[in-house]
Chain A
C-alpha cells in the first residue's frame, strides 16, 4: 500500500513539474493542419498536452514515447480494424491517456493485440471507452499505474478467440478503479502481479472469470460487482489476497462459481454478498482463509469446500435460501464453522443468548450423495430425499459427525 502511494505521488509530481516548466498544448483534429496523433507526439516534448478533437483517426501503431497527456475531446475514435498491431503503445513513464474511444482491435492467435498497451510506469489510463478490442488495456512489466473510469466492452464468443478487458503481467502497485468490463474472456487478469488494488469495478458477462488471479500475491479487491460471468472471481496459486465487500451475483450455469479458490493461502474473504450463484465459494486446496461477515443467498451451494482445504474459518456469515449450505467430500472436519446464521437451522435456544443449543450440520445426506454421484441431483426436492435427509439428521450415518457449527446464531446478522 505504501509503495503504491509513493508511486502515485511520484506520478503526480512528475506531471506537476513538467507542466510548471513550460507545457504547451498541441491540438489535433481531422480537419486541421495537424491531423495525426503520431505526428503530434513526434512534435511534442515531455509535459505537453495533446488535445484531440472528435473524428475518426485511422493511424498506424501510435507509440507514446514521451511523457505527454493525450486527451480526447468528446471521444475521438482510434480505429483498430485491419491492423496487425496494438492501437496505442505507452513506452514512456508518466503518460496520461484520457477520453479516447478505441475500437475493433484485431483478434490474433499469436500476439495479444490490445487497445492500450502500457509498458512504462506511473501512467494513468482514464475515462476511455474501448469497444470490441481484443485485449483492452494491457499492462506489462510496469508499476505504479492507474486504470480508472474506463468502459471496456468486448464481443467475446468463445474463450480461445477472445482477450481480457484488463491484463496485468508482471505489474506492481497498480490500481484498477471504477471501471466497467463486459463480454471479454476475463474482466481483469493478473499474472505475477503483486500489490494491486482493484476497487469498485463492475465485471459482467465475461466468458471465463470476472477477475482472475494467477501467481499474484498481496492484492486487494473490494467493492466490485461480479455478475453473470462464467465464474465471478478465480483466485489461483496466490497468497494473501484480501477480498472485501464485493457482490457476486448470478454466476449461474452448469460450471459456474461466485468465487473459485485453488491453491491459495492466507486470504480474507469478508463482507461480500453471494447471491444466486451455482456455487457461492468453491475451494480446492484453499488454506488458512478467514471467511467472515458474508451473505450467501439463493445459491445452489453456498459453499463447496473440498477435503483438501484446511484451517479455514467460517464465521458470522448468513446462509439463506441456498439449495445446499455446504457440499464437501471431506470425511472429517478440517475447517472451523462458528457463529454463522443458517436459515435452515431448526434448533432451539433455551437460554436466549442468541446462540442455538444444538449444533447445526451444514452437510445433509443428499448433498453428500450428490457429491458422490452427481446424477442423483435429479431427485432434488423429491419427497424421498426429504425423508432421507430427515432420517440422517436424526441419526447420522454417512455425513461427517463433527462437521458442524457448534454455536449457530438464531437470528440473521444485520449488516
Chain B
C-alpha cells in the first residue's frame, strides 16, 4: 500500500501540492485526474523520488521511501515524455534497463503485442513519435512489478495500441498489480479505473470510487460528472462564467 501523508511542494513561489493525504489501495487501478497544473505529475514524481517534497511523508508497505532508492525496484514507470540516448537502438535500451534493474522481463510478449519487431535494431533517433511511445510503454511494462505508474500512457498511440494497452492493464490488475495512471481521456478512466483521485490547485478535491462519483453527481457519464464537479466548485468561488472551466479541463 502506498501511503502519502501531508505532502507539500513549492516550485519557487508556486504552491503545487498543498498538503496531500492519500492512500492508494493495493491491487486496484487508481486514476489521478485534474486540470493542467493541478499537481498530478508532481504527485506521481514525488512517489518515484524524482521530485523531493518540502514536507510530509511517503511510505510503501509501511516503509518511508524519502531519500531511498532501492524501493524503486518495485515500481515500473512510464514517463509522460520519454527520450533516450539517440544513438542507442531499441535492443540496446531493453538490455540497458534489464541491466540496471537486474530483474526478469517479458519483453518478447510486449514486442509482439505492440508490433515493434522491425524497429528493434533501429536507433531511437530514427523512430516516429508513436513508435517511440510504444517503446516507452514496452520499457515500462516489461518488468513484473507490484506497482505500475503511467503518466499519460495513451499519448501518441494509435487506436489498436490503445486497446492493447487497456487489455494489458486489465491483465496486470488480475495479477494483483497496483496501477496508478494520469490521463485527460475520460473514456480511459471509465474503462479502467476503480478509484479516482481528483486534484485541484494542489489539493485533493475528490477521492473515491468511480461509482461513488457518478452517484454523487447524479450522472451516468463520468465526463459530465467531473465537469459538474469542477463547475460547482468554481461557481462558488467566482460565481460567473462556469463553462470556461469546463474548457480548461482540456478533455
Touching chains A and B, CB distance < 8 Å:
no
> Chain B interface (Cβ within 8 Å of chain A)?
none
